[in-house]
Amino acid sequence: MTVSVLVVEDQAAVRAALVMILRSEPGLEVVGEAGDGEEAVRLAAELRPDVVLMDVQMPRLDGISATRQITAEGSAQVLVLTTFDHDEYLYGALRAGAAGFLLKDLEAEALIEGIRTVARGDGMLAPSVTRRLISTFTRPDRPDQPKARAAVDALTPREREVLACLGAGLSNGQIAERLEMAETTTKTHVSRILAKLELRGRVQAAILAQDLGLVAE
């Protein structure tokens, strides 16, 4: 299956390099380029790409705000690619519904794998930020825990099993294998979980599962 990608980057030279890398990979198709957040939102709605590769620092509309608008439309998975791993960017991107967060110092192969991963509906985080993210979101004093726990308790037993697998970082294929069900069924469960818990992406669901101690062994 060909994965269509919209590349969003305000620096023309960097954008050109990203496009060149992606166009050289079989199975990836760059369907558009944007130099700012407003253009990204417009092109995402017009072109309906599978993945939006999103920079953070941009003119007119920043990448976090653009991600929030794109994910609200549900038209694409957003993979944030930035130079900086500042907490405000990381948490802002995930709260906005980004499916992944990578740093620009990664190898081309890792970028391509990240795009394919989020296109499949799985999450992708740079290894350097994962530990920090989990430690922040698993504090025992989180004030929103009672409300979140009540929402999770309202899930079906099977949905709670899937949520626990998300917390363990498993892909849809791995969840399907572990719970002995079809991958299409897994995707349906994930979609229902996100809707019931009012989450914008599986990364947010994984964080919530970690936060509540719901992690599959």
Name, in order, each residue with C-beta under 8 angstroms of 32's C-beta and a sequence gap of 6 or more.
Answer: 6, 7, 43, 47, 49
Q: 107 pLDDT exceeds 70?
A: yes
Ranking 4-13, 34-43, 69-78 by mean pLDDT, the lowest is 69-78
Confidence of residue 131 (pLDDT cuts 50, 70, 90): low
**In whole angstroms, what is the distance from residue 18 CA to residue 34 CA?**
12
Count helices and strands in the chain by DSSP H and E runs: 11, 6
Contact 172, 187 (CB under 8 A): yes
Q: 135 pLDDT exceeds 70?
A: no
Residue 110 amino acid letter: A
Predicted local confidence at residue 91, as pLDDT:
81
pTM: 0.72
Give the mean pLDDT of 164-177.
88
Contact 34, 7 (CB under 8 A): yes
List where CATH 3.40.50.2300 sits in the chain: 3-128
- What is the fold, at CATH topology level, of the domain defined by 137-211? Arc Repressor Mutant, subunit A (1.10.10)
The more confidently predicted of residues 87 and 114 is 114
Mean pLDDT rounded to a whole number for the chain: 87
Predicted local confidence at residue 108, as pLDDT:
92
Q: Which CATH class is domain 3-128?
A: alpha beta
**In whole angstroms, what is the distance from residue 133 CA to residue 137 CA?**
6
Predicted local confidence at residue 217, as pLDDT:
64
List where CATH 1.10.10.10 sits in the chain: 137-211
Confidence of residue 214 (pLDDT cuts 50, 70, 90): confident
